[in-house]
A and B are shown apart, each in its own frame.
Chain A
C-alpha cells in the first residue's frame, strides 16, 4: 500500500489540506501557499516525507493548510523544533514558516543559530513589516517613522535587515522574492529544497489589512522591472524594462549605470556569483536599499558546506565503530565493579 501511494503522480491539490484557509481576503499569504504547493507537486515529494514547522503569526498558520505533516509550535522557536525533527529523521523535507516578528524579534536567537549550524532545513520568512496576527504593531523590519498601533507618533527603533543577518550567521542559501511573482517563488522554493544545507528565503509579503502596500514600489507587477533587479548566477546584473540598466562596481561600491545613456558595455557590469565562498558580494547586494537602488531579488548566495545532521549521524556511527555498538549491559558494568557473593 505504501508503494501504491508513492507511485501515484501527485498533483498540486494533493498537497492542499481540507482545512478552511483563514487569512484575510487579499492577503499575500494566499499566493505564497499556492506557489508552495505547486513546488511540492513539481518536486513530487511524497506527502509523508514533508514536515512543515511554524511559529506563531498569521504566516505561521501555513502548516494547517498543507496536507503533509505539520507543526504549529510556539512564537519564534520553530527553528528549534525543526532542528529536533531533522536530527531524528534526516531524510524528511523540513520547512520552517515564519514571520518578521517571529523570526527576527522573539526568535532572533534561534534564527541565527539554526543558520550557523546548517541543517538541511528550508526557512521561509514572510516579511510584511508588521505584526499581523496581533493586529498591527511595529515589527523589527518596520521602517523608522512608521506609524502603527504601537507607534502612533512614529517608530524610533532602527530596522533589522534579514538578508545581511542571514549571511552573517553563515546561511549557505539565501534568497529573496516578492509575493507577487508566483513563478519565481515556486522556482526559488524548488532550489531551496534541492540545496543541501540550510536555505533562507525572504518573501516580501503584503499585509493588506495593517500594512497595505509596504512593498508595492518594488513588488507590484508594474514596478518590478524598474525597481527590482533579478539576480541570476553567472549572468550580468541588469534591470529595467529593456534590461538596459545594470550594476557596475566603482571602487568598493556598487553603482547603477544606464548602458545606453552612460555608454557602458555589458561586459563592464557586475556578473552575479552566488557560489563564491566569499560572501562579500552577496552581503553588498543584500544591503542595497530601495529607492537608492533597485531592490535585488533572486538567489544571493548558494554554497556547499557540511550539513549539520549528516555530521551528527556520521559522528554517531564513528563512535559506534570505535567503541562497539550499543550494549547496555556493558555500559552498566563499565568502570570499577565488584562482586558480592551469595
Chain B
C-alpha cells in the first residue's frame, strides 16, 4: 500500500508511470498527488478546485493546497506569476495535500520550471507545449526547450497542444480568442478527468449554474471540456488511464460536501448565531487570506447576517464591539497586520467583558510579509500583544473542515464566559479544501443565550459564581441603564474605580475567568502508540501532516504518539501530565518556536522543536524523518 507521500520515489505497482503497459483496463492507484500550475491568468485555481470537487463527489477523500502569487497579475509567463493548486486523493482518509507530486499539469515554461522540484522521480508531466516558444523560454531562463533536450529525462513527459486543441475545438462556435484562452483550463480538466476516469457530469452542471446567463460561455467551456476528454480517449499518448482504488474502510455514513476553511468558518458562525437565536454581525476590512469570510457572510444576509465593511480594521472591531454591546453575536475577521491594528480594541473587549469572536487567518509575517502564504507565527501576538494583563480565550482550527467546529466552539465559549475568543486559522486551511460530513443539528452543542432583564437586582459586574461571566444587559432594556468603558471598574457595580485593591481584584477576575474555561475542554486525545517514548505536539494546520507522519511511522514499527491542541488559551488541564509522561517531546510548528517556548516555560519540559518558516505547510516526510531521527536517538 502506498503511504500518503513519504518516499520521493513512487512505488512501482501503484505508480501511474508504467511505460510498458498498454491495456484498456485502468490501472488502480492508491493515494495520488496532482498539481496544476500555470500563469495566474490561466485559471489554475478553478481547474484544481473543479477536479478536487469531482473527485470528492466521486467518493475519494481529497485535500487541497492553493498556492497563488500576491500580485493579481504578475507579468505573464514569469515565475513570479505562477499559480499552483495541489491536491491529494485516495481510497482512505487523506490528511494533507500531499508531499511530492505524481502528476504535474503545467500550462507554461514558468510553471514547469518552478514546480519540477515537487515532482516524484518518474512522475507524469502533462505540458501545454504551445507555450514553449523561444520568447517564453527566455523569460524564465531556459536556454533550450526542455521538451526537446534531455532535461526531463527522469519523468514521463506528455506534451499536449492544449492552446491549439482548445482553439480547434471552439472554432465552429466562432468565439473570441479571449474565450478560447479562458477555456484552456477546461480542456485540461477534461483530459485529466479522462486520465483518472472521473465523470464530467458535475462539472457540466456546475458550468450551467455558474454561467447561467451566458449560454455562449457555457457552450465554449463545455466544448473545451469534452474535447479534452475525447483527446485522452482517442489518443494513444497515454499508455493507460487510472482509477483510485475503492475504499477499504467505509467512510462514516451521511451527507458530504466539499469545502474550504474560510467557508467552513463562515458557516460555523451562521450556524452558531442561529442556534443561539442571535443576530450575526461581522465587522471586517479586506485582507488576504481572510477576505473570503467577509465575502461568504455577505452572501447570507437572510439569516439575518449584517456585514460591515469598515474603513479599517480598527473600525471593524469597534463596530463589532458596539454590535456586541447591543446584543449581536459579533465577529471580526482579519490577518496578522489587521490584528496589530485591532490590539487596543481587543483590550477594551476584554475589559468590558462582552462576547466577541476575533478571527486571524494567519499569513507569513512580519509586516505585509507573505500575504498569500501560510504561517503559524501569530500565536504570541494572540496571547500577549495587548497592554496590561489581558488574557482571553484562543482556539486554533486544525483543518478546513475543523474550521466549522472551531467557529461553533468559539461562539459557545464567548457567550458562556462573556470574554473575547481569538480563532487562529491560516492561509493553508483557509483556502485548502476537503470533504466534510455535514453534521445534523442534534450533533451540535447547545448554545443557549438569554439577555439579562431583571431590573430589581442588576449590577453590571455581578458575576456568575461558576463561570465568572457578567450579565449581558443590552440597551433597550428598561431599568438596566448602565455605562461601560475601558477605565478600571469597580467589582460588582461597574462604576469607575482606580483604587489599588480593586484593580488587583479585577485583574485576577479576568485571568481567573479565562482559566476556568479548562472545565470546558475535553480530555486530550493521544494518537499513535500511547506508550511510546516520543510525543509529537502540534497546533493548527499541521494536524494533517503530523497525524499522517505518526501513522506512517507506526506502520514502520516506530513507536510514537501525538497530541494536537485546539485550545491554546487556556491550555488543557491534562496537557502538563501528558507532556511529563513522555521521555521525548517534539513540537512541530510553522514559526521559530512559539508553542515550544510556551510549553517549555509553563511545564518545564525539555521539548525539542521542528520549525519551518518558508511559507508552505510541513511535508509529511519532514515530520516523519524527524520522528525516525529522534527515536533512533
B319 touches A84 (CB 8 A): yes
**In the complex with contacts A77-B345, A92-B475, A332-B438, A19-B304 CB distance below 8 A:** no
Evaluate whether A324 and B302 lie within 8 angstroms (CB atoms) in the complex, with A335-B257, A340-B254 already known: yes
A44-52, A224-232, A241-249: which one contacts chain B? Answer: A44-52
Task: Name the residue of chain B whose CB is nearest to the CB of A83.
Answer: B319
Asked whether B475 lies within 8 Å of A89 as measured between CB atoms, the reply is yes
Number of A-B contacts (CB under 8 A): 211
Residues of B within 8 A of A2 (CB): 478
How far is A317 from B304 in the complex, measured between Cα atoms in Å?
A: 8
Nearest CB in chain B to that of A318: its residue:
B301
Chain B residues whose CB sits within 8 angstroms of the CB of A336 once the complex forms = 53, 57, 202, 206, 257-258
Q: How far is the CA of A64 from the CA of B312 in the complex (A)?
A: 28
Interface bits B283-308 vs A (CB < 8 Å: 1, else 0): 10000000000000000111111101
With both chains docked as a complex, state the minimum distance between the C-beta of A326 and any C-beta of chain B, in angstroms: 4
Q: Are B281 and A88 in contact (CB under 8 A)?
A: yes
Residues of A5-58 contacting chain B, CB below 8 A: 5-6, 17, 19, 46-49, 51, 53
Chain A contact residue count (CB 8 A cutoff): 63
Also in contact, A338 and B255, with CB within 8 A (given A69-B481, A331-B270): yes
Once bound together, how far apart are the Cα atoms of A63 and B495, in whole Å? Answer: 12
Cβ of A319 < 8 Å from any Cβ of B?
Answer: yes
Q: Is B125 an interface residue (CB 8 A)?
A: no
Q: Which residues of A contact B318 (CB under 8 A)?
A: 73-74, 77, 80-81, 83-84, 110
Query: Which residues on A sit within 8 Å (CB–CB) of B53?
Result: 336
Q: B618 in the interface, Cβ–Cβ < 8 Å?
A: no
B residues less than 8 Å from A112 (CB atoms): 311
A338 contacts B485, C-beta separation under 8 Å: no
Assuming the contacts A48-B477, A332-B438, asked whether A73 and B326 have C-beta atoms less than 8 A apart, the reply is no
Q: Nearest-CB distance from B438 to chain A (Å)?
A: 5
A315 touches B250 (CB 8 A): no
- Contacting B at CB under 8 A, from A77-117, are 77, 79-89, 91-92, 109-110, 112-113
* Residues on B with beta carbons closer than 8 Å to the beta carbon of A312: 306
A85 and B475 within 8 A (CB):
yes
Q: Is the CB of A89 within 8 A of B496?
A: no
Q: Is the CB of B481 within 8 A of A80?
A: no
Nearest residue, chain A, Cβ from B316: A80
Report how many residues on chain B are interfacial, defined by Cβ distance under 8 Å: 74
- Alpha-carbon distance between A320 and B279 when the two chains are bound, in angstroms: 14
Asked whether B302 lies within 8 Å of A326 as measured between CB atoms, the reply is yes
Cα–Cα, bound, A328→B300 (Å):
10
Give per-residue flags for A173-201: 1 if the beta carbon is below 8 A from chain B beta carbons, else 0. 00000000000000000000000000000
Which residues of B have CB within 8 Å of A113? 310-311, 315
Q: How far is the CB of B261 from chain A (nearest CB, A)?
A: 15
Determine if A69 and B482 form an interchain contact, defined as CB atoms under 8 angstroms apart: yes
Q: Would A71 and B438 count as touching, CB distance under 8 A?
A: no
Q: Which residues does chain A contribute within 8 Å of B252, judged by CB atoms?
A: 340
On chain A, the residues within 8 Å of B302 by CB distance are: 316, 319-320, 323-326
Q: In whole angstroms, how far apart are the Cα atoms of A51 and B485 in the complex?
A: 13
CA distance A82 to B310 in the complex (A): 13
A72 and B478 within 8 A (CB)? no
Specify the chain B residue showing the minimal Cβ separation from A63.
B483
Whole-angstrom CA separation of A181 from B460 in the bound complex: 36
CB distance from A134 to the nearest CB of B (A): 15
Contact of B486 with A by CB under 8 A: yes
Q: Does B428 contact A (CB under 8 A)?
A: no
**In whole Å, how far is A197's beta carbon from the nearest beta carbon of chain B?**
18
B255 in contact with A333 (CB, 8 Å): yes
Any A CB within 8 A of the CB of B615: no
* Cβ < 8 Å to A, chain B residues 105-137: none
Chain B residue, CB-CB nearest to A80: B318
A68 lies within 8 A of chain B by Cβ: yes
B57 partner residues in chain A, CB cutoff 8 A: 336, 338
Q: Counting CB contacts under 8 A, is B413 at the interface?
A: no
Asked, given contacts A87-B281, A88-B328, A340-B251, whether A81 binds B476 with beta carbons under 8 Å apart, the answer is: no
Q: Which of B301, B311, B478 contacts A315 (CB 8 A)?
A: B301
> Residue-by-residue, is B246-264 near A (CB-CB < 8 Å gives 1, otherwise 0)?
0000111111111000000
Chain B facing A: main interface SS? mixed
Given contacts A72-B486, A73-B348, whether A83 and B304 have CB atoms under 8 Å apart is no
A225 to B394, CA, bound (A): 61
Convert B480-517 into 0s and 1s, putting 1 for each residue whose CB lies closer than 8 angstroms to a CB of A: 11111111000000011000000000000000000000
Tell me, yes or no, whether A329 is within 8 Å of chain B by CB. yes
Instruction: Mark contacts of A145-168 with chain B using CB atoms, 8 A cut-off: 1 yes-contact digit, 0 otherwise.
Output: 000000000000000000000000
Q: Evaluate contact between A46 and B478: CB separation under 8 angstroms.
A: yes
Evaluate contact between A329 and B441: CB separation under 8 angstroms: yes
Distance from A337 Cβ to chain B, minimum over Cβ atoms (Å): 5
Scan A307-321; emit 1 where CB is below 8 A from any B CB, else 0.
Answer: 000001001110110
Contact B322 A331 (CB under 8 A): no
In the complex the two chains form, what is the Cα distance from A46 to B476 in whole Å? 9
The CA-CA distance from A325 to B300 in the complex, in Å, is 10
Give chain B nearest CB distance to A76 CB in angstroms. Answer: 9
Report the bound CA distance from A69 to B12 in whole Å. Answer: 73
CB nearest neighbor in A for B314: A77
Q: Which of A48, A316, A338 contacts B481 (CB 8 A)?
A: A48
The answer for the CA separation of A315 and B487 in the assembled complex, in Å, is 38
Give, as a whole number of angstroms, the nearest-CB distance from B250 to chain A: 7
Contact with A along B311-333 (1 / 0, CB 8 A): 11011111111111111101000
A342 at the interface (CB under 8 A from B): yes
A260 at the interface (CB under 8 A from B): no
Q: How far is the CB of A312 from chain B (nearest CB, A)?
A: 6
The answer to the question of A289 belonging to the interface, with a C-beta cut-off of 8 Å to chain B, is no
Minimum Cβ distance to chain A for residue B441 (Å): 7
Task: Judge whether A84 and B258 touch: CB under 8 Å.
Answer: no
A81 to chain B, nearest CB (A): 4
CA distance A82 to B322 in the complex (A): 6
Q: Which residues of B contact A80 (CB under 8 A)?
A: 283, 310, 314-319, 322
Q: Which of A5, A51, A316, A338 contacts B306 (CB 8 A)?
A: A316
Most chain A CB atoms below 10 A, which of B257, B281, B477, B480: B257
Q: How far is the CB of B403 from chain A (nearest CB, A)?
A: 13
CA–CA, A63 to B484, complex, Å? 9
Pick 15 A–B contacts, CB within 8 A, sort by A.
A48-B479, A67-B481, A77-B318, A80-B315, A85-B322, A87-B323, A88-B323, A89-B474, A316-B305, A323-B302, A324-B302, A325-B302, A331-B267, A332-B438, A338-B59
| Pairs A-B, 3 closest by C-beta atoms | A84-B322, A72-B485, A80-B318
Q: A: which residues have CB within 8 A of B? A: 1-2, 5-6, 17, 19, 46-49, 51, 53, 63-64, 67-74, 77, 79-89, 91-92, 109-110, 112-113, 312, 315-317, 319-320, 323-326, 328-329, 331-333, 335-342
